[in-house]
Amino acid sequence: MKVEVCFSPALYPYYAGDNNRITVVVDIFRATTTICAALQNAARSVIPVASVEEARDYKAKGYLVGAERNVKRCDFADFGNSPFDYAAEKVKDMDIVFTTTNGTQAIDMAKDSDILAVGAFSNIDALADFCFGKQKDVCVLCAGWNNRFNMEDSLFGGALARKLIDKGYNSASDATRVALSMWEEALPDVRSYIDKAEHIKRLEVNSLLDSVAYCLTENTVDLVPVYDRETKRISVK
């Protein structure tokens, strides 16, 4: 089995030919971390939509909606894109419609994968076990920022690749080796390493740094969100 890392959604069409694998979508700051938190807090499902217009339509139908663009919560939304927004008392047994700048676009792009799983540092061990248990190749799709490379998602790609290689996977590409090198360099102090990232500055300018430590903490969640092509919803399988 092999693991590869796709550094940007713009590159994903070149990876998308093989659908008999697991695609792991990752948006560390903050969409996939937030999805994991919502489901850990007993939300029934997350309904990812690519556009703000779709989210508004769902809101008009009475759904709870999480919506964010350019790190800011949309004015019509019940929630933004912070894992702290989705407390159990607000989301338990609820279906949450969700749209974000990058993460839900990446999910939409990869929706035809044989298995589409949602990854974050918060569920990395559960995710590695899930992938190994399926005995399938893995492609980590980094949501990036507006189709550009970003540091935090690529770093996660290296972290997950390391865990899978330790389970017997093979590194499939130059991109995987670069991601592994990033992870090895970051390991002495991941927070100091990530403080150089562009997105940290965006969060800081908008007073949203409170979620950074949580988003970088491993294994606060013991589940793997999986996208269902028939229902177009993400839930725990």
Give the residue extent of every domain in the chain: 2-227
Cis (ω within 30 of 0) for the bond into 44?
Answer: no
Fold adopted by 2-227: putative 2-phosphosulfolactate phosphatase (3.90.1560)
DSSP state of 85: G
Q: Please report the pLDDT score of residue 44 as a whole number.
A: 98
Element (H, E) at 228: strand 225-228
Q: What is the mean pLDDT of residues 145-161?
A: 97
How far, in Å, CA of 106 to CA of 109, rounded?
5
Report the percent of the chain where pLDDT is more than 90. 96
User: Which whole-number Å values give the CA distances from 101 to 32, 50, 182, in the listed order?
Assistant: 12, 8, 25
Q: What is the pLDDT of residues 110-140, one digit of tens each?
A: 999 999 999 999 999 999 999 999 999 999 9
Q: What is the pLDDT of residues 82-120, one digit of tens each?
A: 999 999 999 999 999 999 999 999 999 999 999 999 999
